[in-house]
Structure 1
Amino acid sequence: MLKIAMAQMEVIPGHPDKNAATMLRMMDEARTEHVDVIIFPEMAIPGYLLGDTWEQTSFLADCEHYGQEIIEASEGITVMFGNIAMDWEKMNNDGRVRKYNAFFTAQDGKLIAPAGQDYPFVIKTLMPNYREFDDTRHFYSLQQLALEQGKNPADLIAPVTLTLQGKSYNAGCLLCEDGWSDNYALEPLQILQDKGQIDFFVNISASPYTLGKNNKRNRVFGQQAKEASKPLFYVNAIGLQNNGKTVYTFDGASTAYNEKGQVCAMSEEYQEELTIVDMDELASMPALSDDKEPDIAHIYRALNYGVRRFLENIRMKKVVIGISGGIDSAVAAALYAKIVGPENLLLVNMPSVFNSATTKGLSKELADNLGCQYTVIPIQHSVDHTVEQLSNTPIIYLTDGSEQKLTVSSFVTENIQARDRSARILAGAAAAFGGGFTCNANKAETTVGYSTLYGDQSGFLAALADLWKYQVYALAHYMNDEVYGREVVPQGIIDIVPSAELSSAQNVDEGKGDPIKYPYHDFLFRSFIERWQKAAPEDILEWYAAGTLEENLGCEPGIVAKYFPTAQEFIADLERWWNLFTGMAVAKRIQAPPILAVSRRAYGFDHREAQNGPYYTLKYQQLKEKLLS
Structure 2
Amino acid sequence: MLNIALGQFEVKSGRPDLNTQKMLSMIHEAKEKNIDLIIFPEMSIPGYLLGDTWEQSSFLKDCEYHGQQIIQASDTIYIMFGNIAVDWAKFNNDGRVRKYNAFFTAYQGKLLPHPKLPYDFGIKALMPNYREFDDTRHFFSLQKLATELKCPTEDLLAPIELNLNGKTQKVGTLICEDGWSDDYQLAPLEILHKKYDIDFFVNISSSPYTLGKNNKRNRVFAKQAKENKIPLLYVNNTGIQNNGKTIYTFDGSSTVYAADGNIIAYGKPYEEKLICINLAKNSQPLPISIQDEQETAGIFEALTYGIRKFLQNIHMEKVVLGISGGIDSAVAAALYVNILGPKNVLLINMPSIYNSNTTKDLSSKLAKNLGCNYAILPIQEVVDYSIKQFETTPVINLADSSASNLHVSSFVAENIQARDRSARILAGMAASFGGGFTCNANKAETTVGYSTLYGDQSGFLAALADLWKNQVYALAYYLNQEVFHKEVIPQATIDIVPSAELSHNQAVDEGKGDPIKYPYHDYLFRSFVERWKKATPEDILQWYKENRLEAEIGCQAGLVKKYFPTPQEFIEDLERWWNLYSGIAVAKRIQAPPILAISRRAYGFDHRESQNGPYYTVKYKKLKQELLN
TM over 0.5: yes
In the other structure, the counterpart of 2:269 is: 269
> Which amino acid is the alignment partner of residue 394 of structure 2?
P
For structure 2, the residue ranges without an aligned partner over 5 or more in a row are none
Query: Is 1:310 the equivalent of 2:310?
Result: yes
In the other structure, the counterpart of 1:536 is: 536
In the other structure, the counterpart of 1:350 is: 350
Query: Percent identity between the aligned chains?
Result: 67
> Which amino acid is the alignment partner of residue 9 of structure 2?
M
In the other structure, the counterpart of 1:216 is: 216
> Which amino acid is the alignment partner of residue 454 of structure 1?
Y
CA shift, 1:282, in A, is 8.6
In the other structure, the counterpart of 1:463 is: 463
In the other structure, the counterpart of 2:99 is: 99
State whether residues 212 and 293 of structure 2, in contact with CA within 8 Å, keep that contact through their aligned partners in structure 1: no
In the other structure, the counterpart of 1:582 is: 582
CA shift, 1:117, in A, is 2.4
In the other structure, the counterpart of 2:396 is: 396
Query: Is 1:237 the equivalent of 2:237?
Result: yes
Rounded Cα–Cα distance in structure 1 between residues aligned with 2:222 and 2:67:
31
Rounded Cα–Cα distance in structure 2 between residues aligned with 1:264 and 1:215:
16
State whether residues 114 and 161 of structure 1, in contact with CA within 8 Å, keep that contact through their aligned partners in structure 2: no
Cα deviation, 1:466-519, whole Å, max 9, x if unaligned, reads 000000000000000001110010001000000000000000000000000000
State whether residues 258 and 282 of structure 1, in contact with CA within 8 Å, keep that contact through their aligned partners in structure 2: no
State whether residues 199 and 281 of structure 2, in contact with CA within 8 Å, keep that contact through their aligned partners in structure 1: no
CA shift, 1:292, in A, is 4.4
Question: How many pairs were matched up?
Answer: 629
In the other structure, the counterpart of 2:321 is: 321
Rounded Cα–Cα distance in structure 2 between residues aligned with 1:477 and 1:222:
34
State whether residues 159 and 196 of structure 2, in contact with CA within 8 Å, keep that contact through their aligned partners in structure 1: no
Structure 1 residue runs of 4 or more that deviate by more than 6 Å after TM superposition: none
Cα deviation, 1:16-51, whole Å, max 9, x if unaligned, reads 000000000000000111110000000000000000
Structure 2 length-normalised TM: 0.99
In the other structure, the counterpart of 1:27 is: 27
State whether residues 350 and 421 of structure 1, in contact with CA within 8 Å, keep that contact through their aligned partners in structure 2: yes
Rounded Cα–Cα distance in structure 2 between residues aligned with 1:92 and 1:61:
17
Rounded Cα–Cα distance in structure 1 between residues aligned with 2:342 and 2:117:
58
In the other structure, the counterpart of 1:56 is: 56
For structure 1, the residue ranges without an aligned partner over 5 or more in a row are none
Q: How does 1:176-325 map to 2 (within 5 A)?
A: 176-280=176-280, 283-325=283-325
State whether residues 258 and 283 of structure 1, in contact with CA within 8 Å, keep that contact through their aligned partners in structure 2: no
Q: How does 1:313-462 map to 2 (within 5 A)?
A: 313-462=313-462
Query: Is 1:125 the equivalent of 2:119?
Result: no
Cα deviation, 1:142-197, whole Å, max 9, x if unaligned, reads 00000011111011111000001111000000000000000000000011112120
CA shift, 1:283, in A, is 5.0
Rounded Cα–Cα distance in structure 1 between residues aligned with 2:277 and 2:115:
26
In the other structure, the counterpart of 1:626 is: 626
Q: Which moved more, 1:160-169 or 1:278-287?
A: 278-287
Q: How does 1:5-16 map to 2 (within 5 A)?
A: 5-16=5-16
State whether residues 11 and 45 of structure 1, in contact with CA within 8 Å, keep that contact through their aligned partners in structure 2: yes
State the SS of the aligned residue for 2:461: coil
State whether residues 438 and 462 of structure 2, in contact with CA within 8 Å, keep that contact through their aligned partners in structure 1: yes
In the other structure, the counterpart of 1:83 is: 83
State the SS of the aligned residue for 1:603: coil
Query: Is 1:603 the equivalent of 2:603?
Result: yes
State whether residues 42 and 82 of structure 1, in contact with CA within 8 Å, keep that contact through their aligned partners in structure 2: yes
Cα deviation, 1:596-622, whole Å, max 9, x if unaligned, reads 000000000000000000000000000
Rounded Cα–Cα distance in structure 1 between residues aligned with 2:54 and 2:282:
39
State whether residues 116 and 155 of structure 2, in contact with CA within 8 Å, keep that contact through their aligned partners in structure 1: no
Query: Is 1:43 the equivalent of 2:43?
Result: yes
In the other structure, the counterpart of 2:134 is: 134
Rounded Cα–Cα distance in structure 2 between residues aligned with 1:4 and 1:114:
21
CA shift, 1:286, in A, is 2.7
In the other structure, the counterpart of 1:520 is: 520
Distance 1:409 1:511, change over 3 A: same
State the SS of the aligned residue for 1:284: coil
Rounded Cα–Cα distance in structure 2 between residues aligned with 1:270 and 1:458:
29
Structure 1 length-normalised TM: 0.99
> Which amino acid is the alignment partner of residue 152 of structure 2?
N
CA shift, 1:569, in A, is 0.1
In the other structure, the counterpart of 1:171 is: 171
Rounded Cα–Cα distance in structure 1 between residues aligned with 2:280 and 2:150:
41
State whether residues 116 and 157 of structure 2, in contact with CA within 8 Å, keep that contact through their aligned partners in structure 1: no
State whether residues 9 and 273 of structure 1, in contact with CA within 8 Å, keep that contact through their aligned partners in structure 2: yes
State whether residues 264 and 282 of structure 1, in contact with CA within 8 Å, keep that contact through their aligned partners in structure 2: no
